[in-house]
Amino acid sequence: MAKCLSGIGLVHKLQADYGSALDYYTRALDIAEQTGNKLGMAILTGNIGSVYSEQGDYLKALEYYLKSY
């Protein structure tokens, strides 16, 4: 389920619909956290960081990039 939500988030990101991308990535991250999927959590926090970077919110992007490690 998290992979599906992440894929939908990617589509929204590519369409520059950043609000929806964040929504889907965050929902996917919640599932990854609930299931203990550490790799998924790292990837999704990086994806969220990239959305914030695309929006020009570099401090928020950095926060998520650091969480992904």
Question: What CATH number is attached to the domain comprising 6?
Answer: 1.25.40.10
Question: Which residue segment(s) compose the domain that 31 sits in?
Answer: 2-67
What is the pTM for the complete model shown?
Answer: 0.95
Return the C-alpha torsion angle 19, 4, 29, 59, nearest 10.
-40
Per-residue exposure over 49-59, b if at least 16 CB sit within 10 Å of its own CB, e if not: bbbbeeeeeee
* DSSP-assigned letters across all residues of 32-65: HHHHT-HHHHHHHHHHHHHHHHHTT-HHHHHHHH
Q: Using one digit for the tens of pLDDT, what is the confidence trace for 29-54? A: 999 999 999 999 999 999 999 999 99
- Counting the structural domains of the chain, the total is 1
The mean pLDDT of 55-69, rounded to a whole number, is 96
- What's the confidence (pLDDT) of residue 68? 93
